Amino acid sequence: MHDHSALAQQIKQWGLELGFQQVGITGVELAEDEAQLRDWLAQGQHGDMDYMARHGDKRTRPDELLPGTLRVISVRMDYGTGDDESAWKNLHASERAYVARYALGRDYHKVMRARLQKLADRVEAAIGQFGHRVFVDSAPVLERALARNAGLGWIGKNTCLINKNAGSWFFLGEIYIDLPLPVDAPAQAHCGTCTRCIDICPTGAIIAPNRVDARRCISYLTIELKGSIPEEFRTAIGNRIFGCDDCQLVCPWNKFAQRFDEPDFRARNDLDQATLVDLFAWTEQEFLQRTEGSAIRRTGYEGWLRNIAIALGNATSTPEVIGALQSRREHSSEVVREHVLWALAQHA
């Protein structure tokens, strides 16, 4: 029989040694979150993200996703750059591209999965075989609710997990386990009366505290949505070509975010300062080469050109901008052509 509370302490220590900034443990009870999720889905606020509904209640019932699960180990890995000023500058420089911070470097899924697996291996080495499975965004897991319950932070009005000492620039990952370890106290909410995230959202996607309508959210529109982006949102998208960070950049708790220099998360391809014209010129081969091992792959080449066309439509009129758009007027993709023509009309 293992001493579960000693093991829980050890797991937290090993997690820190493996490069996570925080490790917490929680049970599998998510009934309240399940009701909220069902309501969000019923309202259609998940847009085209069918996978959110596809798995029934498995997302909110860890023991149905992985039978035998008693606890969830939840971890946080920071990716803050400590340089919000340069992000704001980028957002206000219309010739530049803005890429959400989490996607500037190597795909975090791979980095975190490898480390979570190492953590599970350490537990196995210490106690022998046990039932477990590692998750990083890879299955129907309600990761923010689990992280909140494990004491890693509270779910803010922008639906991001916020930690009092670290802000919200971090990734989450989980290990479902069948060991009855002692659980941590859930985090208390500290948003108070602040509504900065709601007020700044360019498309008004945060329709109520803790409720984002994905169909209006720039992260959804530029990454998850395939096909045409509704015209009503194109101007508001500005120069955000992959995701959006506004609701985090404006969050007062992020002044406590530490700069965290994980080499894997350093910006690649100068994406933190690239110009729209340069990125729009990438061939499909270049796109695939340069986004190898990057979250940006998710949008696909067509989505990449579509998003940059919108940003070019919102950019200051210059011969370079017009020239770049003209060069893709006859593109083989109907989606790309449509957004290029829209963009050219903005400059007419």
C-alpha span between 301 and 303 (Å, rounded):
5
Nearest to 212 by CA among 19, 260, 120, 202: 202
With beta carbons less than 8 A apart as the criterion, state whether 156 and 188 touch: no
DSSP-derived pairing of the beta strands 154-155 and 161-162: antiparallel
DSSP 103: G
| Residue linked to tokens 């894997």 | 264
Q: How far apart are the first and last CA of the chain?
A: 75
User: How many CB atoms sit inside 10 A of residue 23's CB?
Assistant: 23
- The answer to whether the Cα torsion of 321, 326, 329, 332 is positive or negative is negative
Residue 12's DSSP bridge partners are none
In the residue annotation, 137 being an active-site residue is answered as yes
Token code pair at residue 177 = 């386990």
C-alpha span between 137 and 128 (Å, rounded):
27
With beta carbons less than 8 A apart as the criterion, state whether 314 and 94 touch: yes
Residue among 48, 63, 137, 178 flagged as catalytic = 137
C-alpha span between 206 and 199 (Å, rounded):
9
DSSP strands (E only) in the chain = 22-26, 71-78, 98-99, 132-135, 154-155, 161-162, 170-177, 206-208, 211-212, 240-242
- Whole-angstrom CA distances from 18 to 46, 110, 122 are 34, 14, 10
Token code pair at residue 82 = 């400590």
Query: Active-site residue numbers?
Result: 137
